[in-house]
Amino acid sequence: MKQFLETGRIVGTHGVRGELKIEPWADSPAFITKVGKLYWDEGRQPIEVKNLRLHKSFVLLTIHGVDTVEKADLLRGKIVYLNRNDVKLPAGQVFIDDLIGLTAQDGKTGKIYGKLTKVYPTGANDVYEIENEAGQKYLFPAVKHMIKEINLANGIIELLPIPGIFDDEVVTDEN
């Protein structure tokens, strides 16, 4: 498991005093403001955070030494990371990064469907992309009643699919 996880990207500035606008990659922007400690360069460099606050669907970040819009604009496009040790997730929640690579198996029969390769946030619920050994990709709705268990220690996610998800429709580049 990665120690430092991508949590957002600097997409612009806010105001003229060097405040940075972060596009959050979390369940909610408020999650990032509660972390408090952030990092650059895959966790190699701590960010000297002065302030984190919410603004609409973004997080606004003020950094020591960045006090003009010109200095802030130089950071546009940079990825912001968090240290997993700085976060206490509620019971039953996991980081999306930890789901990638899990073996997807049927929670009743044990049949292996493939590997979870991507997670698409859709608003209502996430959608998992699962790729089998033949390279076929399937989309699986990540709703609670269709997920029996996520076992990170064993690298398995047990699914309870409805008929047709792994039988009929294969996702291709044409879809």
Q: Is 152 within 8 Å of 103 (Cβ atoms)?
A: no
Joined tokens for residue 52 = 């984190």
Are 4-85 and 96-159 in the same CATH fold?
no
Listed as ranges, residues in the chain with pLDDT below 70 are 168-175
- Domain range annotation of the chain: 4-85, 96-159
Please report, as a single letter, which amino acid is at residue 74: L
Query: Architecture of domain 96-159 in CATH?
Result: Roll (2.30)
pTM of the entire predicted model: 0.80
Q: What is the DSSP string of 124-149?
A: SSEEEEEE-TTS-EEEEEE-GGGEEE
- CA–CA separation, 127 and 96 (whole Å): 11
| Cα–Cα distance for residue pair 59/56, rounded to 1 Å | 8
DSSP label of 171: B
Identify the pLDDT of residue 171: 52
List, in sequence order, every residue forming a beta bridge with 83; answer none if it has no partner. Answer: 4
pLDDT (tens digit per residue) in 31-62: 999 998 999 999 999 999 999 999 999 999 99
Residue 36's pLDDT is what?
Answer: 82
Q: Which CATH number fits domain 4-85: 2.40.30.60, 3.40.50.300, 1.20.1740.10, 3.50.50.60?
A: 2.40.30.60
Strands (E), the chain: 4-14, 19-24, 39-40, 45-46, 49-55, 58-63, 79-83, 103-106, 112-121, 126-131, 137-142, 147-151, 156-159
How many Cα atoms occupy the beta-carbon half-sphere of 18 within 13 Å?
A: 12
Question: What's the pLDDT at 174?
Answer: 55
Q: What is the pLDDT of residue 167?
A: 77
**3-state SS, one letter per residue, for 47-59:** CCEEEEEEECCEE
